[in-house]
Amino acid sequence: GNIGPVAEAIAEALSVRGVVACPAFPTAGRTVYQGHLFVGRRLLHESGMQHHPLNPMTDPDLRRWLQQQWATPVGHIAWPTVKAGSDAIANALRASAASGEVLAIVDAIDDADLLAIGAAVRDSLFVTGGSGI
């Protein structure tokens, strides 16, 4: 959809950088790994979503997808950083913000990852993602 322009407008209005973007919802079979969205064991563009009538998802790489909608670089917080815990995630988000990245795709493959991300952003003004965060 149009998550890129909407998220960018909100981030700009709030003057925030290093905003988490994590559409993972593992209990519903949605995970993010290496910045790619999976539906079950399939990459997004192989899940049937490539045929969506309004927003065909032809690329599972969320950074590339959002970069088409976004004026600033989109960052990525990799799964090993997520597994290292909330402090590591928070540090990576600060580094992302310092490098000028407004949005950072964050990997998450299970509910423990979402809890760690949630703890890392508990004081953040703006987070985009699934309800598990």
Q: What string of H, E and C letters represents the secondary structure of 105-133?
A: EECECCHHHHHHHHHHCCCCCCCEECCCC
Using a 10 angstrom Cβ sphere, with 0-12 exposed, 13-18 middle and 19 or more buried, the burial of residue 73 is middle
| Range 18-26 average pLDDT | 92
Please give the DSSP secondary-structure letter assigned to residue 18: S
Q: What confidence tier does 44 reach under pLDDT thresholds 50, 70, 90? A: low
Residue with tokens 């490098």: 99
Average pLDDT across the chain, whole number = 86
Greatest alpha-carbon pair distance for the chain in Å reads 41
Task: Please report the pLDDT score of residue 3 as a whole number.
Answer: 76
62 pLDDT exceeds 70? yes
| Range 56-71 average pLDDT | 75
Map out the domains of the chain as residue ranges: 3-127
Task: Please report the pLDDT score of residue 97 as a whole number.
Answer: 94
Q: Which residue has the higher pLDDT, 131 or 101?
A: 101
SS3 state of residue 44: helix
Task: Please report the pLDDT score of residue 120 as a whole number.
Answer: 97
Task: Please report the pLDDT score of residue 67 as a whole number.
Answer: 81
Q: What is the CATH number of domain 3-127?
A: 3.40.50.10840
Q: What percent of the chain has pLDDT over 70?
A: 85
121 pLDDT exceeds 90? yes
Q: What confidence tier does 87 reach under pLDDT thresholds 50, 70, 90? A: very high
